Each structure stands twice: as C-alpha cells, then as structure tokens.
Amino acid sequence: MMYDYEYFKKEVLALTKIDLNAYKEKQMKRRIDTLIGKHKIEGYDKYIKALQTDKELFDEFVSYITINVSEFYRNPEQWKILDEQVIPELVKKYGKKLKVWSAACSTGDEPYSLVMALSRHIPLNQIEVFATDIDKIVIGKAKVGLYDAKSIQSVPEDLRKKYFTQVGPSYRIDDSIKARVTFKEHNLLRDSYPTNCHLIVCRNVLIYFTEEAKNEVFKKFCNSLCVGATLFIGSTEQIIDYKEMGYERKNSFFYNKIK
C-alpha cells in the first residue's frame, strides 16, 4: 500500500477531526514534512502510528499545523477604528450587553485585547467575550495569561499600565480581564457556530485555508451575526463576494451583515 499524503490526510481527519483538505496543500504538506523530519520518522504511516500512541507528539502535531501567530492589538490602526467607530455604533444599536466572539483566538491576545477595547465603552463587569480555537494547547496558554514584551508592545500605554504586571521577563494579564473571557475548543470547519453575535473577530487565520473553505466560513459567520452586526477580519484577508453573502463593507477589514 502507498502511504502517500492523501492517505495521511484521511488518517489525520479520523484521528483529530481536522480536515487538511481545507488548507493550502503545498504550504501545509511542507510544514508536516518538516515536522516528521525533525523526529526522524520514516513515512506517513509510521508518523500516524506514533501520533496514535504518543500524546506529547500528538499535541505537538496539532499545535504545529494549526499555525498560531498572535499579538495584542495587532495592526493598531485597525483597533483604533474598532475603538472609535465600530464599538460605539454597536453599543448604540444593541446596548451594552454585546455578544462578542473571538474565533481562532490562539494564545488569548485577541480576546483579551477585545475586553480592553470594550472596557473603554462598557463597564468591565458587563463584558463577555466567547473565545474559541481548535488547539487546546494554545487555549491552555491563553488561560495562563503570560506574554513576552513583544506580544504586548502595541497595547495602548494606559491599558498596558493598568492591566499588565511584569513577572520576570514576562507580563501577566490582570485577572479582571481574564474573568471576562470564556474559552472553548472549536473547529471552524466542523463544529456548529454561536448565534445572534454582535461582533465576530477572526483575523489572519483564513489565509491558510482554500478559497472554498474561506467562503464557507465567511458564510457561516454571516449566519452567526445579528442584522447590522460586524465581522472584523485580518489585514491579509478580504471577502471577495461579500455582497452575495449578505455583507456590506464598512472599510477594508470591517463588514456588516445587511440581510
């Protein structure tokens, strides 16, 4: 039997429920081959068997292929628009009890940034952010809430002073911010989506997906939003057929649901 990449994708789907067909194949295969080579394992079949029996290897594999790159207030100019325009409009439309979803939240930088941004407009104890990621290891890191100096460099100075404490070379996010976020494992391509959201933030994740998978996710996001609610995407992304999906484009990275 030929243990090729097609075989490997099927076995990974059965083992992890992660569909590698949704990712750009050349890029993903290169990452996986590098990881297999690192452990000096010969062939996809032996690597699959190792993943089935070695929890540490399995956790490393999931973390590696789900590509976690994040930082607080990434692309600060876009967060300025969120702070000065988007959040005030949402509060005006829906009140202060906003349903906010940070999808593919990685190590927590984004949902914690959202809580801080919302805190300029809503009392902290009224803020609730639902944060999800496919990788339970990064969710674990998010719950710990320790970050390096580079990760927090774009946080506005007043918020950085208020909500971070230096611990050795790292910075700990304040418990008052952590308490406003609920984390959960979630697969964007497989699991059901929350409904009646007022703001969904999913940034710089779908660039790794095929066009078909991207469109599927954008449509599902639209279905998850209230009419008039907002989707905030990354600086490397765009929704080509946004009108057909039911969005209007507010500016480059913010889309409102119109139907």
Relative to beta strand 247-251, strand 225-233 is: unpaired
- Whole-structure pTM over 0.75, yes or no? yes
pLDDT tens for residues 93-135? 999 999 999 999 999 999 999 999 999 999 999 999 999 999 8
- What are the C-alpha distances in Å from 57 to residues 20, 52, 62, 200, 243? 18, 9, 9, 32, 43
Handedness of CA 119, 153, 64, 29 (dihedral sign): positive
pLDDT, residue 1, reads: 44
Q: Which of these three, 22, 41, 65, is where a domain ends?
A: 65
Q: Which residues of 46-55 are buried (b: 16+ CB within 10 A; e: fewer)?
A: ebbeebeeee
Residues 60 and 106 in one domain: no
Q: How many domains does the chain have?
A: 2
Residues 122 and 239 in one domain: yes
Domain that holds residue 149: 76-257
CATH of the domain at 198: 3.40.50.150
Residues 51 and 141 in one domain: no
d(CA 259, CA 243): 10
Residues 166 and 88 in one domain: yes
Instruction: Tell me which residue of 228, 224, 222 sits closest to 244, measured CA to CA.
Output: 222
